[in-house]
Amino acid sequence: MSNKPIPGTGGDRYIPYSERTGEESAVYFTRDLSPEGLQKVFRRVGGNITGKAGIKLHTGEPNGPNIVPRPWVQELIQNDLPGATILETNAYYEGGRYTTEQHRETLKVNGWTFCPVDILDEEGTVALPVKDGKWFTEMHMGSHLPHYDSLFVLTHFKGHAMGGFGGSAKNIGIGCADGRIGKAMIHTTPGSADQWDITMEEFMERMMESAKAVVDHFGEHICFVNVLRNMSVSCDCEGVAAAPVVTPNIGILASRDILAIDQASVDLVYALKEADHKDLVERIESRHGLRQLSYMKELGMGNDRYQLIDVDHDDAVITPKDAVKDVVPFSG
């Protein structure tokens, strides 16, 4: 079952905007891929990031080339989130982030030394409830996650070897689950010799139920930014082995709606010329990654319809085609 599509879920089929139903959420967009652009869109959605604030961020494997640039994050914290802590969990695979000790060393290598970094599962796990899930009633997260009052989910949007794409939902669905129990619940059938045997629709659904546990936990005190830059078909977990980037840089999105921001990110990729998006679209569809979006909608996690608000041009409401019409082919 794990390697076959679940009938009727269509994770390889892109649903055009005209076929979607329901309310619209606000998604803010800037073409300004810089520290200033990041701060500009964060300020549109970050008003409820209060109290003890965590920033869920993929800090990368050693010397990983495509992560959100460290200076952007440093400047954002200094200007907008003084006292915030970057949040990570240990990886489910052997490598530079498998143990807390290895992870701390990788953080130094990659320069994440300008603010506290909390490895959430350093001291074990906590089970957060999954409401109305098909696969889970609870998900094991790093035990430190409930220490935070609010969560800013800062995501490098890109492809992913198993998920098809990695957006905000992947960032927290996999990224807040602890490295041994929670990630195994998402990736591996108990007793299986194949660590990665859960794939396609079932994997997307498990990952989204984990993300829902995090979203429900923080309620109004969570917001999302996706950076559409250096979008390899590979996840940042592949580090220096990631496939070369061929998809053009697009910009930065921000929203308080996790489904709307991931849907808008996918829509922007699909709005590119075929020559510019074919590799990333093939990765998304071949893994049935679009099931992430339809299942978030089924779980009531947000809206797949949205107003795309162009903060570069007096908050004009634009289409994804408008947003990408001037992008230039990726040049490295």
- pLDDT confidence of residue 60: 93
Q: Is 294 within 8 Å of 302 (Cβ atoms)?
A: no
The whole-angstrom separation of Cα 271 and Cα 298 is 24
The whole-angstrom separation of Cα 154 and Cα 148 is 16
* Single-letter code of the amino acid located at 319: T
- pLDDT confidence of residue 236: 77
- pLDDT confidence of residue 243: 87
pLDDT in tens, the chain (332 residues): 344 544 456 899 999 999 999 999 999 999 999 999 999 999 999 999 999 999 999 999 999 889 999 999 999 999 999 999 999 999 999 999 999 999 999 999 999 999 999 999 999 999 999 999 999 999 999 999 999 999 999 999 999 999 999 999 999 999 999 999 999 999 999 999 999 999 999 999 999 999 999 999 999 999 999 999 999 998 878 877 788 999 999 999 999 999 999 999 999 999 999 999 999 999 999 999 999 999 999 999 999 999 999 999 999 999 999 999 999 998 76
Return the C-alpha torsion angle 255, 225, 212, 268, nearest 10. 80
Q: Is 164 within 8 Å of 286 (Cβ atoms)?
A: yes
pTM of the model: 0.96
Query: CB-based contacts of 73: which residues, under 8 Å, 6+ apart?
Result: 55, 57, 86, 154
- pLDDT confidence of residue 4: 52
| CA proximity to 270, closest of 289, 295, 296, 297 | 289
The whole-angstrom separation of Cα 17 and Cα 143 is 39
- pLDDT confidence of residue 98: 96
- pLDDT confidence of residue 205: 98
Domains of the chain, CATH where assigned = 17-324 (3.40.50)
SS3 track for the chain: CCCCCCCCCCCCCCCCHHHCCCCEEEEEEECCCCHHHHHHHHHHHHHHCCCCEEEECCCCCCCCCCCCCHHHHHHHHHHHCCCCEEEECCCCCCCCCCCHHHHHHHHHHCCCCCCCEEECCCCCEEEEECCCCCCCCEEEEECCHHHCCEEEEEEECEEECCCEEECHHHHHHCCCECCCCHHHHHHCCCCCCCCCCCCHHHHHHHHHHHHHHHHHHHCCCEEEEEEECCCCCCCHHHHHHCCCCCCCCCEEEEECCHHHHHHHHHHHHHHCCHHHHHHHHHHHHHCCCCHHHHHHHHCCCCCCEEEEEECCCCCEEECHHHHHCCCCCCCC
- pLDDT confidence of residue 332: 66
The whole-angstrom separation of Cα 35 and Cα 47 is 19
